[in-house]
Structure 1
Amino acid sequence: MKIFSKEQIYEGDRLTAERQNITSTELMERAGIQIFNWLHTRMQGAQVPVHVFCGIGNNGGDGLVLARHLVTHGYNVKTYIVNYSDKRSKDFLINYDRIKSTTKDWPVLLKCTEDFPPIQKEDIIVDAVFGIGLNKEVADWVKSLFKHFKASAAYTLSIDIPSGLYTDKVTSDQDAIVKANYTLSFQAPKLVFFLPETANYTQQWEILDIGIDPEFLYTTETEAEFIGKFEVLPLYKPREKFGHKGTYGHVLIIGGSFGKIGSVALASRGALSTGCGLVTSYVPKCGIQILQTNLLEGMCISDSGENSIENINIDIEPSAVGLGIGMGTEAKTLKALEIYLKETKAPLVIDADGLNLLAKKKILLKLMPKDSVLTPHPKELERLIGKWSNDFDKLKKAKAFSKKYSCILVIKGAHTITVYGEKMFVNSSGNPGLATAGTGDVLTGIITSLIAQGYEPLHASIFGVYLHGRSADLALVDYGYQSLIASHVIDYLGEAYIDLFKQPEQPKTEAEEES
């Protein structure tokens, strides 16, 4: 699913009106009706007080359309105009006149804190104050209104985007943004729904199709995409009837040090469970017995070092290499990595201490093969690209890093973002249970396995991140957040593959329910 920029959204609205021969007012009516239909389906005529707070721009116009339809359908609705400026949009004014001609209970004008209405916890707030066009600081009295929303503890529904939230920058003033329980986003999600500093302003979001021009939606290239099942399904490569273990690639996992051999075992098991034909683990001598005991399906090669990797000497030609997990950052290991990078031509997935070693000696980054995949957690990312001032600055620096070194950055988090040049792919799967030791090692094995099976590194990253998160989601049913461990993610990879082809369950008819 594409994630459009603010400018692209405006262009989509304009082209829709032009190509469908409708006015912007008619498009606003269409959007407002869709909001009403969503709310009407859930309320079914219930007389819970609904407070619709409208700004004086187009987002406020959407709110006025909603309020008018709520009135005509007999709901207990009160409408307010948040009068933060003397300027009004044309479509707002048209819909302001329409609601005044519909009901004698005209919208109440709010100009200061004394005008705020009482709101009970059992009420519903519809936030239609600011949309994506917000371009200046929120006035103090409007911030007080947003605090009034929060203090009421009433269910808050935001239209398109929580008011006060920008689409392309972060504000540090939490009082200037509405905290929504639910956001109805027109046609596509907003990138700010997925970033750590801004995602907490809406607990849930949903897309409303308002009939934007299909050609525009299909042909417009976006900087970001939201990745779910239907985005990764076309990437899937089915098994061949006459395939054998050599058909599906040989993964080499290089890593481990004394006390950290388990990370290699997890990455190796993750690779095997994702479908590669062969896995060889390269570890210091102290790890051989552990791996031979715990990884029955894998092969092992030992380094000359007893407790850490000191000299990477390999006589096999792997299809892909996962590098760095549990490796440690000793000087001898750094030297061994430098020599290996100068010699290898195999596709690389680099994680954990592999990234920390590269950050120690950044000139080594230039030795990485093209389209190497780097999978940092936030601190590892900071060591690579430097400190950032906010999430947008982080993404800007990540894109510059990706372009400079011709690599793929998998920025791990609640919504893992895969960065490749100017493109970003935001993952939909996964849950807080993944915040536990070893899950990143499993991800390294998964992505390495997919590359070994013939997936392009970018596709392997996107698909691997989704499979990893989806496996954790499926395991959640049995283990919950707190008890989920990295091994469970591996155990449910088969279910994650099967889930790709499951059809959504259809709701039962009344007759089926009765039977």
Structure 2
Amino acid sequence: MKLFSKEQIYEGDKLTVERQSISSTDLMERAGEQIFNWMHLRLQGAQVPIHILCGIGNNGGDGLVLARHLILDGYNVKTYVVNCSDKRSKDFLINYDRIKNVTKKWPTLLSCEDDFPEINTEDIIVDAVFGIGLNRPIDAWVKALFVHFRKTRAFTLSVDMPSGLSTDSIPKDEDAVVWANFTLSFVTPKLVFFLPETAKYTQQWEVLDIGFDPEYLYKTETEAILIGKHEVLPIYIPRTKFSHKGDFGHSLIIGGSYGKIGAVTLASKAALSIGAGLVTAYVPKCGYIPLQTAFPEAMVITDADEEIITNISYEILPTVIGLGIGIGTNSKTVEAFETFLKKNKIPLVIDADGINMLSKNNDLLKLLPEQTVLTPHPKELERLIGKWKNDFDKLEKAKQFSKKHHIILVIKGANTITVFDNKLYINTTGNPGLATAGSGDVLTGIITGLISQGYKPLEATIFGVYLHGKSGDIALEDFGYHSLIATHIIEYLGEAFKELFKHPELQQEQDDIVDNNK
């Protein structure tokens, strides 16, 4: 799903009106009706008090349309106008007149704290004060109104955006933003719904279709794309009757040091479990017996040193290399890493101490093949791109870094974001149970194993992040947040793949393959 910017929404609004020969008031009517339909489906006429607080712009106009429809359907509605400016939008004024024609209870004007309505915990608040166009600090009394909302603990539904929240910046004062239980977002979710510093302002969201021009939606490129099941389905490459392990490549996992052989074991298992044809682990000597014992499906090559990697040398021909997990930053390892990069031409996935070594010697970044995948955790990311002021600054720095070095950067988090070529791919799977030791090693192995099978690095990263999260989501049902461990992610990868096949079109494709095999 594309995440349109504020400017793109404005442009789409304008084009929709022109191409469909409707007025902006008609489009506002659609928006308000869609909110009404959403609420009516869930309330079914329940007489809970609904407090609709409208600003004096187009967001407030949406709220007035909603109020009119709720009133006409017999709901218990109280409508208010938050009088925060002398300016009123044209469509707001039109709908203000319309609501006066359907009720004797005209909207109550709020101009100061003395006007605040009494709202009970069991009531519903509809926040239609400010939309995406807010570009100034709000008045102190409006801020107090938003705090009043929170103190009531009433269910708060925001129209399009939680009021006071900007689409492209971090609030300086969290009390100057509505904290919504649910946001009904027009056309597209907003990027701020997925960033750590701003996601807290809406617990849940849903997109409402208000009939934007379909050609505009289809053709317009966006900086950010939300990755769900329908976005990864076209990436998936089915297997055929005559497939054999040689078709799915050879993954080489390089890493480990004394006490950290488990990281390589997890990455190697993940690479094979995601579908790589062959997996070889390159470890110090101390890792030989643990790997051969814990993971007999893997082949093992050892360094001459017992405890660390000092020389990366092998005679196999890998398809892709995953490197850095548990490898440490001993000076001999750093030297071996640099020597390896100077002669390597094979696609790379680099994690953990591999990233730390790159951070300490930026000249090594020049040696990376194009579209090398880097998968840092937050602290490793900071070492790589520098400190950031806020989440938007972090994204900007990440885009610049990706573009400068022609690499794919994975920003791990609740909504892991893959960054490449000024594009953001925001993942929707995963849960807090994935915040566990070894989870990142598994992700490295998954991405490596996908590239091994012929997926392009960017596709492998997007798909790998999705499957990693989906596997964790399925495992969560059996283990919960606290008991989920990295091994579970590997064990449930098959279930994550099977969940993809539940899509009717892909199921038919799989059925056809099975039929051909008979």
Q: What does residue range 308-347 of structure 1 map to in structure 2 within 5 Å? A: 308-347=308-347
- Matched AA of 2:229: K
Matched residues in 2 for 1:126 and 1:245: separation? 57
Q: Secondary structure at the match of 1:39?
A: helix
Q: Any idea what SS the aligned residue of 1:264 has?
A: helix
Written as runs of structure 1 = structure 2, the 5 A alignment for 1:16-95 is 16-95=16-95
Instruction: Report SS of the residue matched to 2:245.
Output: coil
Cα displacement (A) at 1:421: 1.5
Name the amino acid aligned to 2:495: E
Describe how 1:397-412 pairs up with structure 2 within 5 A.
Answer: 397-412=397-412
Residues 470-501 of structure 1 show CA distances to partners (whole Å, capped at 9, x for unaligned) of 00011111111111000000000001001002
State the match for 1:511 in structure 2.
Answer: none
Match of 1:5 in 2: 5
Q: Deviations over 1:198-224 (max 9, x none)?
A: 001000000111110100010000000
SS in 1 for 2:234: helix
**Which amino acid in 1 is paired with 2:9?**
I
Structure-2 separation of matches of 1:326 and 1:503: 38
- Distance in 1 (CA, whole Å) between partners of 2:305 and 2:73 is 77
Question: What amino acid is aligned across from residue 334 of structure 1 in structure 2?
Answer: V
Correspondence for 1:231: 231
Supply the AA of the counterpart residue of 1:85: S
User: Aligned partners of 2:470, 2:258: CA distance in 1, in Å?
Assistant: 32
Q: Is 1:242 paired with 2:278?
A: no
2:349 is aligned to 349
Aligned to 1:478: 478
- Corresponding residue number in structure 1 for 2:515: none
RMSD (CA atoms): 0.7
Q: Deviations over 1:233-284 (max 9, x none)?
A: 0000111221211110000000001110000000000000000100000001
Match of 1:490 in 2: 490
Structure 1 residue 503, shift from structure 2 partner: 4.2
SS of 2:145's equivalent in the other structure is: helix
TM-score under structure 1 normalisation? 0.97
Match of 1:270 in 2: 270
- Corresponding position of 2:183: 183
CA–CA distance in structure 2, aligned partners of residues 43 and 271 of structure 1: 48
Q: Secondary structure at the match of 2:247?
A: coil
- The residue aligned with 1:115 is 115
- Aligned pairs (5 A) from 1:83-232: 83-232=83-232
Q: Deviations over 1:144-163 (max 9, x none)?
A: 00000000000000000100
- Report runs of 4+ in structure 1 exceeding 4 Å deviation: none
Residue 424 of structure 1 is matched in structure 2 by: 424
Partner Cα separation in structure 2 for residue 239 and residue 352 of structure 1: 32
Tell me which residue corresponds to 2:363.
363
Following the alignment from structure 1 to structure 2, what is the Cα–Cα distance between the partners of residues 85 and 317?
69
In structure 1, give the amino acid aligned to 2:137: E
The aligned runs of 1:454-465 (5 Å cut-off) are 454-465=454-465
Provide, for residues 259-313 of structure 1, a one-character-per-residue CA deviation record: whole Å limited to 9, x for no partner. 1000000000000000010000000111111001001100000012211111111
Query: SS at the partner of 1:164?
Result: coil
Could you tell me which amino acid in structure 2 is paired with residue 173 of structure 1?
D
The aligned amino acid for 2:300 is C
Partner of 1:289: 289
Q: What's the % identity of the aligned pairs?
A: 70
Listed one character per residue, the Cα deviations across residues 407-430 of structure 1 (whole Å, up to 9, x for unaligned) are: 000110000000002111000100
SS at match of 2:206: strand
> Aligned residue for 2:259?
259
Structure 2 counterpart SS, 1:234 = coil
SS for the counterpart of 1:409 is: strand
CA drift of 1:369 comes to 0.5
One-letter amino acid of the counterpart of residue 287, structure 2: G
Gaps of 5+ in 1: 505-515
Partner of 2:507: none
SS of the aligned residue for 1:53 comes to strand
1:413 corresponds to which residue? 413
- Aligned residue number for residue 444 of structure 1: 444
Q: Structure 2 unaligned segments of length 5 or more: list them.
A: 505-518
Shift of residue 55 of structure 1?
0.4
Offset at 1:41? Answer: 0.6
How many aligned positions are there? Answer: 504
Could you give the per-residue CA deviations for residues 407-459 of structure 1, whole angstroms, max 9, x where no partner exists? 00011000000000211100010000000000100000000011010001000
Separation (CA, whole Å) in 2 of partners of 1:47 and 1:362 = 64
Aligned partner of 2:306 in structure 1 is: 306
Q: Over residues 105-148 of structure 1, what are the superposed CA-to-partner deviations in whole Å (9 max), with x where a residue is unaligned?
A: 00010000000011100000000001000000111110100000
Quick one: distance in 1 between partners of 2:315 and 2:173? 58
Match of 1:193, SS?
helix
Aligned partner of residue 71 in structure 1, secondary structure: helix
Name the TM-score, length of structure 2 as normaliser.
0.97
User: Shift of residue 172 of structure 1?
Assistant: 2.5
Distance 2:465 2:250 in 1: 20
AA of the residue aligned to 1:493: L
Letter in 1 for 2:284: P
In 2, Cα distance between equivalents of 1:92 and 1:327: 62
